[in-house]
A = this chain, B = another copy of it.
Amino acid sequence: MPDTKTWTAALLIIGDEILSGRTQDKNVAQIATWLNVQGIRLAEVRIVPDVEEKIVAAVNALRAANDYLFTTGGIGPTHDDITVDAIAAALGVGVVVHPQARATLERYYETRGGLTEARLRMARVPDGAELIVNKVSGAPGIRHGNIFILAGVPHITAGMLDALTGTLEGGRPVVSVTIGGMVPESEVADLLRETERAHEGIAIGSYPFFREGRVGANFVVRSEEMAQAQAVADLLQASMESAGYLVVPGGI
């Protein structure tokens, strides 16, 4: 296997509504899955409230430690939408109205009551930024260097990710093969540990569950090589079957 760089991204979720428990986050899973297809691994997530100093500290920690930083939330028109100002502060740049964003919003709101002062807030970007197309609603996402500032509403986030697909440099995607069955993970823990140790470049995850009073688990073999992941999964399945367990490819 060639020695390749592992590209990483961090995700910063900005919003009191997630921390209060009011809103169930869906962007971690959505962005993680999308990143993996780009050959980029989600290395860390932080969720912070709508407080500038908290956002600034997280932005600076995460962008320094990763190839990319994605943020979601706080880019709407209301007083609690402070993401752009906070990221500009973190970068030490000013906030400017982006002419193309202004033009997009003018068109979008032409038949929707016009571009008010509040709506114009959504054209503000950290100085030096470019835009990320938003096909779903008016306000665009923002890219500034390795920082990608996305909407928090999941289907708008999805549209912005779609616009970014294939534009980021990445490495090889991690692929995975899952097997599973009514296997108590504590009975195969040694097998899992030794199998992982014996195969460089793979990671084995064990995810237990309880169904109808019985305990089982799915086992996920991850690798950058599909053939390797499949071979190790086959090996695990054969070992579990010879120990008397019924194991299903794909997991249960």
- Residues of chain A touching chain B, judged by Cβ–Cβ distance below 8 Å, are 13, 16-26, 28-33, 36, 41-49, 54, 76-80, 112-113, 116-119, 121-122, 136-137, 153, 155, 174, 176, 184-187, 189-190, 192-193, 196, 203-210, 215, 220, 222
Contacts and interface: CB of A to CB of B under 8 A. Distances in A.
A40 B68 CA distance: 33
Contacts of A25: 25, 28-29
A45 B42 contact: no
Main secondary structure on A side of the interface with B: mixed
17 contacts: A18-B28, A18-B32, A18-B45, A19-B44, A21-B32, A21-B42, A22-B176, A23-B29, A25-B25, A44-B46, A45-B45, A76-B185, A76-B208, A79-B189, A79-B196, A118-B186, A137-B210
Contacts of A23: 29, 207
Contacts of A20: 32, 36, 42, 174, 176, 222
Contacts of A209: 153
Given A20-B222, A118-B190, A153 B205 contact: no
A206 B153 contact: no
Given A17-B207, A78-B193, 20 more contacts: A19-B32, A19-B44, A20-B42, A20-B174, A20-B176, A21-B29, A25-B28, A76-B185, A76-B186, A76-B208, A77-B185, A78-B186, A78-B189, A78-B206, A79-B204, A80-B205, A113-B187, A116-B189, A117-B190, A153-B208
Contact of A43 (B19, B33, B118): B19
B18 A79 contact: no
Contacts of A26: 24
For the complex of A and B, the 4 pairs showing the least CB-CB separation, nearest first, are A21-B32, A118-B189, A79-B193, A21-B33
A55 to B, nearest CB: 11
